[in-house]
Amino acid sequence: MRIVFSLNMLVGIVLCKMFCVLIILSILLLMLKKQYSKMRANRTHSETVVAFFHPYCNSGGGGERVLWAAVSAIQNKYNHLKYPNVHIIIYTGDLDAHPEQILNKAEKVFNYKIEQKVEFIYLHGRKWVEPSMYPYFTLLGQSLGSLWLALEALNTFVPDICIDTMGYAFTYPLFRYIGGCRVATYTHYPTISTDMMRHVYRRTVSHNNSRAIARNPFLSAAKLFYYKLFGLIYGWVGSRAEIIMVNSSWTEEHINAIWKCPLRTHKIYPPCNVKHLTSLPLLDDDEKCKNIRILSVAQFRPEKNHPLMLKAMYELRSIVEEEIWEKTRLILIGSCRNFEDEVRMKDMQDLSKHFALDENVEFKLNVPYSELLSEFQRATIGLHTMWNEHFGISVVECMAAGLIVVAHASGGPRADIIEIQQGSQNGFLATEAEEYATIMAHIINMHSEGRNAIRTVARASVNRFSDEVFEREFLRTIEPFFRQKQE
Ligand SMILES: *[C@@H]1O[C@H](CO)[C@@H](O)[C@H](O)[C@H]1NC(C)=O
Ligand SMILES: *[C@@H]1O[C@H](CO)[C@@H](O)[C@H](O)[C@H]1NC(C)=O
Ligand SMILES: *[C@@H]1O[C@H](CO)[C@@H](O)[C@H](O)[C@H]1NC(C)=O
């Protein structure tokens, strides 16, 4: 009797405390919201302020290319006559870099010249989003850390439109409901994916799923629960963004599975820098035919699947005539990140000897860019064998340089890049070594008009990944924010 009574009391007290905490939290948030709207009203800028939330804006990676492309797109359009001025700010955590340094780097690395004024708001709390801060519960830790960082951002400056280009989904409700901003996102990669959950579910050891957890059913169940719960929250916060942009079919599929708002999700390919490749002069096909060069540009990493290329060559030998085989070369261009990669490359060389291909296979390590360009020009076929690559920038580069690509029929190459429909064919897809060999033999035996037709289509089709198309699509997608602002 007594025990039941005190248990009831305990539950009562806990509930009461939770209730109090909730009330206090709501009051705090309401006060913050009021404060932010005051700050916005008090602002000295009369223009529309667009903020990019990109704490690592000085890194020079693929995500930063999208950031600078987006900034220059907005400046090109909105600083001209049609709309009143737009002011751009970037929230960054690169405390050690001056605004000029950052802009110079954007110009040097990506060739985006940012001419009008961009204001940088420096955030001091970037350490809270670094994975090294959280040895356990990394996902949750980083996500809460990003909230903290976003609070710091809003406390410093309240924008009208906030565009997240790094995928910190937990900040969207904060920016939208408390900061009163319109929120858009460009997502490169889902924070949690159904693949990760599957690893835990199947109890496979992987990079993020340690042996200890994979072995223990209870730990695995607990981790799965954690991931599921995290996935639910991630889905809710992510779908608070009013405009969602994703960088590829792969990302789109995963984001749709978790955020569940496909109607507001737009696929916009990031700009790839292929202009210098599409303007390479094509060598004459006859000249190329003296030597049939098959080119692969891929690091010597296991997932790139170099053995499949060698097997395909082995198969090719048995189906082409001897004289053609004599002049066929497979050129493997790549780099090694570490000792394991070097060992792997040696293994490949041994494998090519084993298949008696060593006369017809060349390995080229760390070639300078000028040599890469000349290889691009001399080659006829581009070879890609990685399974389920998310995108496949090397495939795009080969096509831009005028090669006929045979890519693996999976992932990005199949979904985003290669088209095999008659009339718009821009390359080939294959999975097995025999299939690769048959297709390569077909290409070698084709008339040069046929080859040229495919090449021309391929070169034109990489336009989808150009700066111009990115700019057009990006502006069209975020247009509603600006339109409403003017009304
Ligand atoms: C508004 O601006 C005035 C003068 O610039 C300043 O004194 C005041 O603290 C500002 N209020 C808020 C809420 O930022
Ligand atoms: C999208 O982003 C991911 C993660 O950075 C990257 O692996 C993938 O290649 C990107 N896709 C495109 C089309 O660039
Ligand atoms: C998995 O590991 C990578 C690299 O260490 C890290 O970037 C990523 O955030 C990790 N993911 C999770 C869910 O811990």
Confidence of residue 1 (pLDDT cuts 50, 70, 90): low
Confidence of residue 201 (pLDDT cuts 50, 70, 90): confident
User: How many angstroms is it from 42 CA to the middle of ligand 1?
Assistant: 6
461 and 344 part of one domain: yes
Atom of ligand 1 nearest to the CA of 35: 13
Instruction: Name which residue sits closest to atom 5 of ligand 1, judged by CA.
Output: 42
Give residue ranges with CB within 6 A of ligand 3: 131, 138-139, 207-208
Confidence of residue 430 (pLDDT cuts 50, 70, 90): very high
Closest ligand (CA of 209)? 3
pLDDT for the residue numbered 366: 87
| In a domain? residue 38 | no
Instruction: Choose the weakest-confidence range: 239-248, 278-287, 459-468.
Output: 278-287
pLDDT for the residue numbered 284: 73
User: How many angstroms is it from 45 CA to the middle of ligand 1?
Assistant: 13
DSSP 413: I
Give residue ranges with CB within 6 A of ligand 1: 38-39, 42
The residue assigned the tokens 């779908």 is 239
178 and 110 part of one domain: yes
Q: Is the CB of 188 under 6 A from ligand 2?
A: yes
Instruction: Name which residue sits closest to atom 1 of ligand 1, judged by CA.
Output: 42
| In a domain? residue 24 | no
For the chain, give the percent of residues with pLDDT over 70: 95
Closest ligand (CA of 130)? 3
For the chain, the straight-line distance linking the first and the last C-alpha, in angstroms and rounded, comes to 67
CATH number of the domain where residue 401 is located: 3.40.50.2000
280 and 229 part of one domain: no
> Is the pLDDT assigned to residue 486 strictly greater than 60?
no
235 and 330 part of one domain: no
pLDDT for the residue numbered 3: 66
Instruction: Name which residue sits closest to atom 3 of ligand 2, judged by CA.
Output: 188
Confidence of residue 338 (pLDDT cuts 50, 70, 90): confident
Q: How many domains in the chain?
A: 2
Residues 205/170, Cβ–Cβ less than 8 Å: no
* 3-state secondary structure (DSSP) of residue 306: helix
pLDDT for the residue numbered 355: 95
> For residues 265 and 244, what is the distance between their CA atoms, to the nearest angstrom?
5
User: How many angstroms is it from 25 CA to the middle of ligand 3?
Assistant: 31
294 and 412 part of one domain: yes
Instruction: Name which residue sits closest to atom 1 of ligand 2, judged by CA.
Output: 188
- 33-57 confidence digits (pLDDT tens): 999 999 999 887 678 899 999 999 9
317 and 224 part of one domain: no
| In a domain? residue 3 | no
> Is the pLDDT assigned to residue 179 strictly greater than 60?
yes
| In a domain? residue 23 | no
> For residues 329 and 440, what is the distance between their CA atoms, to the nearest angstrom?
12
411 and 475 part of one domain: no
- 302-331 confidence digits (pLDDT tens): 999 999 999 999 999 999 999 999 999 999
Residue 123 belongs to domain spanning? 48-271+468-486
From the list 380, 423, 422, the residue with the least C-alpha distance to 401 is 380
pLDDT for the residue numbered 286: 66
216 and 337 part of one domain: no
Instruction: Name which residue sits closest to atom 7 of ligand 1, judged by CA.
Output: 42
Which two three-digit tokens encode residue 389? 């690559």
Which two three-digit tokens encode residue 453? 């037709």
- 70-126 confidence digits (pLDDT tens): 999 999 887 665 666 789 999 999 999 999 999 999 998 888 988 878 999 999 999
Instruction: Name which residue sits closest to atom 2 of ligand 2, judged by CA.
Output: 188
| In a domain? residue 401 | yes
> Is the pLDDT assigned to residue 375 strictly greater than 80?
yes
Residues 260/231, Cβ–Cβ less than 8 Å: no
- 138-159 confidence digits (pLDDT tens): 899 999 999 999 999 999 999 9
- 399-427 confidence digits (pLDDT tens): 999 999 999 999 999 999 999 998 899 99
Residues 237/261, Cβ–Cβ less than 8 Å: no
| In a domain? residue 13 | no
Atom of ligand 3 nearest to the CA of 191: 13
User: How many angstroms is it from 167 CA to the middle of ligand 2?
Assistant: 12
> For residues 121 and 200, what is the distance between their CA atoms, to the nearest angstrom?
39
For 185-197, the DSSP string reads EEESS-SS-HHHH
> For residues 292 and 430, what is the distance between their CA atoms, to the nearest angstrom?
20
343 and 456 part of one domain: yes
Atom of ligand 1 nearest to the CA of 42: 1
User: How many angstroms is it from 360 CA to the middle of ligand 1?
Assistant: 74
419 and 472 part of one domain: no
> For residues 394 and 398, what is the distance between their CA atoms, to the nearest angstrom?
6
Q: Is the CB of 250 under 6 A from ligand 2?
A: no
User: Which of 208, 228, 233, 254 is the pocket-test mutation for ligand 3 (most atoms within 8 Å of CB)?
Assistant: 208
Q: Is the CB of 465 under 6 A from ligand 2?
A: no
pLDDT for the residue numbered 484: 64
Mean pLDDT of the chain: 91
Closest ligand (CA of 38)? 1
| In a domain? residue 42 | no
Atom of ligand 2 nearest to the CA of 189: 4
| In a domain? residue 41 | no
132 and 253 part of one domain: yes
Q: Is the CB of 189 under 6 A from ligand 2?
A: yes
458 and 442 part of one domain: yes
Number of helices and strands in the chain (H, E): 20, 13
User: Which of 273, 388, 390 is the pocket-test mutation for ligand 2 (most atoms within 8 Å of CB)?
Assistant: 390
Name the CA dihedral angle for 101, 104, 105, 110, rounded to a multiple of 10 degrees: 160
